[in-house]
Amino acid sequence: MEEWFTVESIDKDTFAISEYKHWEETHCYLLCGTKNAVLIDTGLGVGNVKEIVDKLTDLPVMVVSTHVHWDHIGGHKYFSHIAVNEIEKEWLADKFPLPLQAVKQNLLHYPCDFPKEFSIDKYTLFQAVPTKIFNDGDSFDLGGRTLFVIHTPGHSPGHCCFYEIDRKYLYSGDLIYCGCLDMFYPTTDPELFFQSIKKIEHFNIDKILPGHHSLNVPIDIIHKIDKAFCKLKIENQLQQGKGIFDFSEFQIHI
């Protein structure tokens, strides 16, 4: 499965594990402390991400979810300790908002050179009771580094970003990235998304580590996204069904 994943070092004990061969270009992030490690999201579930994690650390690993969407929880099945925002714990346990067939259609939406071990017929949605629940303001102590929870709803009701004060890293999930920001699903909320962007603007951030696409995300994109939302709000466009709005570095799909 090594050929499916790409591993990039953010620093000596932080790694991006990416699935660039798929159109979603998902990223998971392994954060290693002195006592524990956290894996933020687990990607598509096409390959065994745990095999990669095990080569990077021998620390105990907890999976921490930015949100419970299929492309972020696919590899949860390989881990025993899983944390999720309380708002979406039922999604993970037994009420996933999309049927399996819809997820498979998304997975196969564009041609992809999947690993030979992968079978779409055997692909399933991960469902389990999480072992840990977190809320806005909670933190994870890894030993020598601490990860803070920021509840940022809009893309999903329980969507969270994670922030490290010492390193000024923001793990932004699907709130901020260079690509199309989606809030057109029934479970999304453009107004809440806008408020979440404003919330993030108050943090001192040196590096944005997104859930998808390029890892080279300029810090000023947060302000640009805020300005874009302000424009759409003035034009009365922050309502689902309005379409896709292009702002060069990113798009907003409402």
Give yes or no for residue 1 having a pLDDT over 80: no
User: Tokens 């999604």 belong to which residue?
Assistant: 91
CATH code given to domain 6-177+196-217: 3.60.15.10
The number of residues in the chain equals 254
CA distances 251 to 16, 44, 83, 113, 180, Å, are 24, 23, 30, 27, 4
What is the tens place of the pLDDT at every residue in 212-223? 999 999 999 999
Number of CB atoms found within 10 A of residue 105's CB: 11
Tell how far CA 114 is from the center of its chain. 21
Contact residues for 119 (Cβ-Cβ < 8 A; gap 6+): none
* Number of Cβ atoms within 10 Å of the Cβ of 101: 8
**Per-residue pLDDT reduced to its tens digit, 13-62:** 999 999 999 999 999 999 999 999 999 999 999 999 999 999 999 999 99
Please give the DSSP secondary-structure letter assigned to residue 138. Answer: -
Query: SS3 of 10, please?
Result: strand
**Predicted confidence (pLDDT) per residue in 97-140, tens digit:** 999 999 999 999 999 999 999 999 999 999 999 999 999 999 99
C-alpha angle 80-115-5 in degrees, rounded to nearest 5? 60
Q: Report the C-alpha gap between 229 and 163 in whole angstroms.
A: 23
Q: How many CB atoms lie within 10 A of CB 253?
A: 17
Report which DSSP code applies to 20: T
From the list 198, 194, 146, 155, the residue with the least C-alpha distance to 173 is 155
Q: Break the chain into its structural domains and give their ranges.
A: 6-177+196-217
Q: With H, G, I as helix, E, B as strand and everything else as coil, classify residue 140.
A: strand
